[in-house]
């Protein structure tokens, strides 16, 4: 199993954590948990299954009706008596889903600079992104959990824009995260903190840089830039690394 980058959770997502695991029995693989799952399609068998942020492969009647390429927040359990389903070279757990699956929004990286914001809206917090070290497991998506302020009736819209190259480092990529608020606020409602998750499709960035190195692979150093509450200037995240194919 490939290594994944750890996400430090801000608060909760719709009342529960992205990663909540509870073992049902010691000495067995039985488990019950809630997690975000990437819905994948196996082209050979035609089966749709989930790859979770906890590193599990899961399948159920409900999952097989979901749209491949999307993300869902699921609560599910597995017991040895439920068995597994073979898909390719892996055994996928036949899980039982409880409650209603929740959609996780997604967006695609814009490869041009974003609109100039004279008075940019500011995040209350942004967690480090959660991503796999290849483009397959999560469909080349990076997941961000973020917090913002809004009034009832308003909805957050988050977009990502590649900042034009500064020329200082050909392997460094800076991405701006912009926050917008849409909707009509309820009269008399107060401002509250809200938390949400968005999946960012990084495939356009990979496509841009693949084949641009004389070595077998090329490592991109990625920095995210965004505005935070109580900070006048935008801040830069730590450096994250994406490995793309070379020549």
pLDDT at 77: 97
For residues 38 and 70, membership in a common domain is answered with: yes
Is residue 235 one of the residues assigned to a domain? yes
Instruction: Check: CB of residue 55 under 8 Å from CB of residue 6.
Output: no
Is residue 207 one of the residues assigned to a domain? yes
Is residue 52 one of the residues assigned to a domain? yes
Instruction: Check: CB of residue 162 under 8 Å from CB of residue 220.
Output: no
pLDDT at 212: 75
For residues 99 and 119, membership in a common domain is answered with: no
pLDDT at 169: 75
Domain limit, last residue, from 59, 88, 105: 105
- Whole-number Cα distances in Å, 10 to 63, 117, 128, 146: 27, 26, 10, 7
| Percentage helix, strand, coil for the chain under 3-state DSSP, each rounded to 5 | 5, 50, 45
As a whole number of angstroms, the distance between CA 59 and CA 55 comes to 13
3-state secondary structure 91-127: EEEECEEEEEEEEEEEEECECCCCCCCCCCCCECEEC
Mean pLDDT, 10 residues at a time, over the chain (247 residues)? Answer: 40 40 56 95 96 95 98 96 95 96 96 92 94 92 95 94 76 95 89 94 94 82 96 95 87
For residues 232 and 157, membership in a common domain is answered with: yes
For residues 166 and 196, membership in a common domain is answered with: yes
pLDDT at 167: 52
For residues 99 and 146, membership in a common domain is answered with: no
For residues 237 and 132, membership in a common domain is answered with: yes
Torsion angle, alpha carbons of 215, 217, 221, 222, to 10: 140
Closest CA to 71 of 123, 5, 139: 139
Q: How many CB atoms lie within 10 A of CB 220?
A: 19
As a whole number of angstroms, the distance between CA 186 and CA 224 comes to 33
Assign residue 155 the CATH number of its domain.
2.60.40
What is the enclosing helix (H) or strand (E) of 206?
helix 203-209
For residues 155 and 232, membership in a common domain is answered with: yes
């Amino acid at each position: 199993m490939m290594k994944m980058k750890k996400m430090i959770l801000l608060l909760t997502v719709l009342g529960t954590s992205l990663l909540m695991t509870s073992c049902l029995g010691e000495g067995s693989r039985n488990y019950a948990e809630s997690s975000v799952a990437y819905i994948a399609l196996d082209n050979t068998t035609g089966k749709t299954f989930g790859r979770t942020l906890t590193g599990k492969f899961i399948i159920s009647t409900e999952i097989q009706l979901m749209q491949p390429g999307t993300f869902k927040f699921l609560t599910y359990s597995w017991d040895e008596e439920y068995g597994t389903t073979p898909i390719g070279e892996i055994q996928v757990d036949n899980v039982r889903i409880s409650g209603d699956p929740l959609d996780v929004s997604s967006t695609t990286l814009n490869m041009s600079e974003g609109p100039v914001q004279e008075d940019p809206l500011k995040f209350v917090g942004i967690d480090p992104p959660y991503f796999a070290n290849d483009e397959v497991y999560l469909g080349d998506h990076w997941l961000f959990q973020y917090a913002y302020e809004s009034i009832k009736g308003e909805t957050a819209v988050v977009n990502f824009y590649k900042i034009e190259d500064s020329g200082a480092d050909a392997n460094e990529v800076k991405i701006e995260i912009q926050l917008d608020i849409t909707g009509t606020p309820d009269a008399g409602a107060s401002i509250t903190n809200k938390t949400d998750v968005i999946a960012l499709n990084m495939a356009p960035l990979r496509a841009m840089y693949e084949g641009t190195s004389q070595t077998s692979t090329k490592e991109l150093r990625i920095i995210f830039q965004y505005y935070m509450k109580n900070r006048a200037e935008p801040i830069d995240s730590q450096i994250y690394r994406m490995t793309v194919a070379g020549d």
